[in-house]
Structure 1
């Protein structure tokens, strides 16, 4: 497997936000989202065997929450899925951040999938979600929409209703997009959609979803990597 980085920090998003977490960031992505904050993962990386990854994770004990992210981790599914099974059997709680463009039906059931449905504001990556993946979602999973503007919000709202997401998954996340060139100041002014505005829309519509801010970008400087 090709990894960009492996480190321990706090989980910045999802219903696990704020918990200590080990991040395994895999190299490579087949999408190019307009607001992507991890373009450094597109190429490169260092090869690791499964045994080497497990040793790196074990060295960060006692943390037992592990997230696989990228890039797009499912591009390395052949090696990733057996590794996930191995870690689950060793008592780890696993998360995976994925675009939902790759098939998800073979992901081990205990893995908490955070699936990012791309909105119009994602640019060329918009509408890349593989619709058959709806059947692979469970109540332990979460669907995330990164929102740049009102059009994205309306897209997300319609998708949630049309596909009955509240019945399918445990949580729906609405996350304001972040500037690709943020200031070093830890402020919501770096968001391309003001979180206050998003909250006002959510309250007005009574939408059954969770506001999701990337809290690591408020704990550390927004451009800092490995946190």
Structure 2
């Protein structure tokens, strides 16, 4: 792993934000290598199967200068595994850029600046990683909301049983009263129509999310 001034980068790309409540917006993506999870449906295995390249924080920020004012998302892999992600986020904030951080939810978000919007995954049973969820993050989200942060929670779901489990979690922790909650289907395992029906049955303010970038560029598997 690089030192605290460098990042192990999988890819840098400028695209349309395909997920989250900011879906549809132009976004500069910094995808980092390395992940501590092995989700059954992972669509970015290359972030931990390939070596990537070491870049300084300054090099990443220089690349971002080509997209002034753009939304910036730091994703992975699991970005919180890399110590340099924190000074990178601070630099983005200082430069006035709107920054997002997508995390798999297995590590504490305590050190993420409140100015950064967190997209927090909660792993379902069918992901194979449910036991890795770091549940104290929910209390941290509540603290961040009081400080004005714009965070959200995402469930990637594989089956009706997954959906039922996710609904129980939403109700147990009153998540829809805390942050926007999104349910996203693994397309080859759970049809959007079935997920839509299940959401409607529950009568909860949950947003159905489909990966917009996969609809725009169905044959592209990275860099979008």
Tell me the C-alpha RMSD between the 2 structures.
1.1
Aligned to 1:84: 89
Aligned to 2:138: 134
Please state how far the C-alpha of 1:63 moved relative to its aligned partner: 4.3
Checking the alignment, whether the CA contact within 8 Å between 1:117 and 1:127 is kept in structure 2 is no
Checking the alignment, whether the CA contact within 8 Å between 1:21 and 1:63 is kept in structure 2 is no
Q: Secondary structure at the match of 1:127?
A: helix
Unmatched tracts of structure 1, length 5 or more? 179-190
Q: Secondary structure at the match of 2:35?
A: coil
Aligned to 2:53: 46
Please state how far the C-alpha of 1:102 moved relative to its aligned partner: 0.8
Please state how far the C-alpha of 1:224 moved relative to its aligned partner: 2.5
1:62 is aligned to 2:68? yes
Give 2:108's match in structure 1, choosing from 82, 95, 103.
Answer: 103
The count of aligned residue pairs is: 211
Q: Deviations over 1:112-161 (max 9, x none)?
A: 100110001102x1231101111221441111111100110011000001
Aligned to 1:226: 223
Aligned to 1:22: 28
Aligned to 1:214: 211
Matches of 2:88 and 2:104, distance apart in 1: 20
Matches of 1:150 and 1:122, distance apart in 2: 13
Checking the alignment, whether the CA contact within 8 Å between 1:114 and 1:141 is kept in structure 2 is yes
TM (norm. structure 2) is 0.91
Matches of 2:221 and 2:100, distance apart in 1: 22
Give 1:195's match in structure 2, choosing from 192, 207, 212.
Answer: 192
Matches of 2:71 and 2:220, distance apart in 1: 24
Matches of 1:29 and 1:128, distance apart in 2: 12
Matches of 1:222 and 1:212, distance apart in 2: 20
Please state how far the C-alpha of 1:168 moved relative to its aligned partner: 2.0
Unmatched tracts of structure 2, length 5 or more? 1-6
Q: Secondary structure at the match of 2:177?
A: helix
Aligned to 2:119: 114
Give 2:185's match in structure 1, choosing from 176, 190, 197.
Answer: 176
Matches of 1:222 and 1:102, distance apart in 2: 32
